Structure 1
Amino acid sequence: MNDQLTHFNEQNRAKMVDVSDKDVTKREAVAYSRMVMEKETLARIREGRVAKGDVLAVAQVAGVMAAKKTWEIIPMCHPLPLTGIDIRFSFADERTLEIEAAVKTTGKTGVEMEALTAASVAALTVYDMCKAMDKAMVIESTGLLRKTGGKSGDFTREDHSK
């Protein structure tokens, strides 16, 4: 674990890290969110029987939009020219929806925050669209699965069960 924090200036105040001298490299990050809900809720999502519309299509667009706007909502994030965003959904069991967000860029800083934001907002969108029928839904976990590129090198989550 790297204990050196670079988001603080000499007065111990937060700052946006200066990436001017960093090399431009190809970077990718993949993050996930896992949601648990009632069986009927997930069945209705799968079958397209939610009154508000196609939940996964809306959540996918919301995740893409969120990745593109991460720098506007996370104070110390850099605005990045994203070159690819992909949101995927899978059904782990009859109550669990898994969301995976992959974000790519060629730049001087990574896209971990963009991937995490995309996965989180996609999950929040599912909640918003289904809350009328299942207020007990839980966004159980969100995390980084892997990242490539940059000075710190590659990372792969060792606990593959998320």
Structure 2
Amino acid sequence: MPLVYVTGPSGAGKSTVGAELARRGFPSYDTDLDRLSHWYRGDQLVAHPDAAADDRWYAEHVLRLPPETVRRLASATTGLGFVCGTVGNEGEIWELFAAVVSLSLDDASIRARLATRAPGSFGSTPDDVRRILGWAATIDEDNSRYGALLVDASGPGDEVADLILSGLRERGLG
């Protein structure tokens, strides 16, 4: 069945939207919470370090969602389903989804949302915030260039879910 990939920068609300879509009865998977994504250095599966990773570590490692995982989820999902998260191999997996939704959020909102994260979690340190804002700087332009549906993620999760479902209906899904 068709799967939709919901991506965006850390703090955009991917997990919140995924939970809202699940509450509404849609199959919804979170690349982090459901442990679908894994860190790799080259082709080697590695563990994420317990301590905060530095720029060099992130330059040498990629968080990947294996294509076979997407295929497995698609075959097991009835109706419209969602995979929510951000991974470093999006170019490898986008074609496996019926649509891609990119949650869009300004820097101030990203900072505010990241400030609520528990100490020690990703996005809770100044270095993490700097990295996230760097990654987010071109995400809307990059994702729209590849056909993603851009959705304003500044509202509460239920409103963002409404925007996603409305946009997908306009594209003939849902």
TM-score norm. by structure 2 comes to 0.27
More helix by share: 2
Look at both structures and tell me which one has the larger radius of gyration over its CA atoms. 1
More strand by share: 1
